[in-house]
Amino acid sequence: MNKLVFLDGAIGTSLWAIADAHGVARVPVWRYNIEHPEFVEELVKRYVDAGAEIILANTFGANRPAVERASKLDPVEVVASGVSIVKKATEGTGVKTCLSCGPLTMLLEPYGDLEEDECRAIYREMIDAGVGAGADIILLQTFIDLEMMRIAAEEALKTGVPVFCAMTFEKVGKTMFGNSVQDVIDTLEPLGISAIGMNCSLGPVAAVPIIREFSEKTNLPLLFKPNAGLPITGSDGKTEVAYTAEQFAKEIEPALDFVTYIGGCCGCDDSYVRAIRKLAFERNS
């Protein structure tokens, strides 16, 4: 079995849960870096206590177009603050800080109006802000367009910081843009990235076969961060995740034999990190 490195769980859904508990409105979560940094720090410390060894900064959607569309905040400050909060909250722990970058809502030409040069500039600004604030790693995650991922990865690699790439797949084993696992590997591995894999969109049962396919086609370290399944609405109108922490850990167990970086995505809080760690240690004892 590979040496496992434990990642964190969800950032967005977990921060909204903290905001709800404090009676604060749900907003684009990157706003909390400036408006409620204590929420972000609380979440980081939960993940540290749960045993996460790499923690994502609250920067996933904090690119200039998104920030300017939803606030009057400076996107560079938002990203730098997100990284700095993690650095401060993990000081002395050995936990690494990871800049998180997600896809843009705009589509690249010819599907949309976004030109490649503009796309590069948006990611370059975001990446420079995060690395400048001290990010140890860059994770490009939840991409459905391999071309956009390629552009972002090329910009990220210019920093010299390790770059991890995670695409989001449908149940059929391809991204929404029709990119296969082999397509992803053929495009990204030659660039010199440090890890490859998948996150979000699928619960563990549907996701394990896809990350297994990665293991059969590349020798790069694999990153695996499925979500807690599609939310289930009960008769009382409340929504719950499809997989409890213990169920989640049990269902991803086959992947522990060949992935390196393991954590959870949407719906997974610190209890999921604890459950994964517990299972991993039980397997080794």
| Residue pair 164/196 in contact by the 8 Å Cβ criterion | yes
| Residue pair 20/65 in contact by the 8 Å Cβ criterion | no
CA 160 to chain centre: 20
Q: What is the pLDDT of residues 79-107, one digit of tens each?
A: 999 999 999 999 999 999 999 999 999 99
pLDDT of residue 232: 63
**3-class SS of residue 47:** helix
Q: What is the pLDDT of residues 25-61, one digit of tens each?
A: 999 999 999 999 999 999 999 999 999 999 999 999 9
Instruction: Determine whether domain 5-284 maps to CATH 3.20.20.330.
Output: yes
pTM of the model: 0.95
Number of H helices, E strands in the chain: 11, 10
Euclidean distance between CA atoms 148 and 123, whole angstroms: 10
Residue-range domain boundaries for the chain? 5-284
Look at strands 261-262 and 137-143 and give their pairing.
unpaired
> Stretch 113-130: mean pLDDT, rounded?
98
pLDDT band at residue 143 under the 50/70/90 scheme: very high
Residue 279 has pLDDT above 80, yes or no: yes
Beta-carbon count within 10 A of 213 CB: 17
pLDDT band at residue 234 under the 50/70/90 scheme: low
Euclidean distance between CA atoms 23 and 41, whole angstroms: 17
pLDDT band at residue 229 under the 50/70/90 scheme: confident
